[in-house]
Amino acid sequence: MRKLVIAAIAISVPGLVAANALTDAVKQRQNFMKGYGESVGMLARMAKGEVEYDAATAQGAADRIAEMAHRDTSAWYVPGSSSADLPGVSYALPALWADGAKVGEIAGRMAPAAETLKVAAGEGRAQMAGALGGVGQVCQDCHKSFQAKKD
């Protein structure tokens, strides 16, 4: 009996660890994306004039976006963690794992767009807003193809 219980634990534990590793990876990439959302959102409010433009604050946000854009976050996109695998947890469409070339093409545009924003952010509201549009386009292109809608 005791042996059976131990055997059952030994079988179930790897499954549990794997499930946690998947949801951890999802949380990590979602937190990363939230960071993007905060910085881009703040600059967007300045661009629209909802918040007064401040060169130093804008530069700080742009620096953060550029630093993030250079990070390789592919390790968080573990197979088995799509919105089909983990409904209600993951909002990354299965297409993300099926169309690596397209993901790579869009993701590859993020760093150059972020570098352009970094150069422009402290130069004035209009310059920042123009370059922010370039970054926003990359975010949007990727979400259109690879992010599931939250309902």
| Residues of this chain that bind ligand HEC (CB under 6 A) | 26, 29-30, 33-34, 36-37, 40, 90-92, 96, 103, 106-107, 110, 135, 138-139, 142-143, 146-147
At its nearest, how many Å lie between ligand HEC and the CB of residue 4? 38
At its nearest, how many Å lie between ligand HEC and the CB of residue 40? 4
At its nearest, how many Å lie between ligand HEC and the CB of residue 3? 40
CA angle 139, 142, 144 (to 5 degrees): 105
Which run of H or E residues covers position 29?
helix 2-48
Cα torsion angle, 90, 95, 98, 103, sign: negative
Evaluate whether 131 touches 121 at the Cβ level (below 8 Å).
yes
CA pair distance 79, 33, nearest whole angstrom: 19
Q: Which is nearer to ligand HEC, 128 or 138 (CB)?
A: 138
Residue 14: strand, helix, or coil: helix
Q: Which is nearer to ligand HEC, 5 or 77 (CB)?
A: 77
At its nearest, how many Å lie between ligand HEC and the CB of residue 9? 30
Q: Which is nearer to ligand HEC, 30 or 57 (CB)?
A: 30
Half-sphere exposure of 36 (CA within 13 A, CB side): 22
Q: Which is nearer to ligand HEC, 34 or 48 (CB)?
A: 34
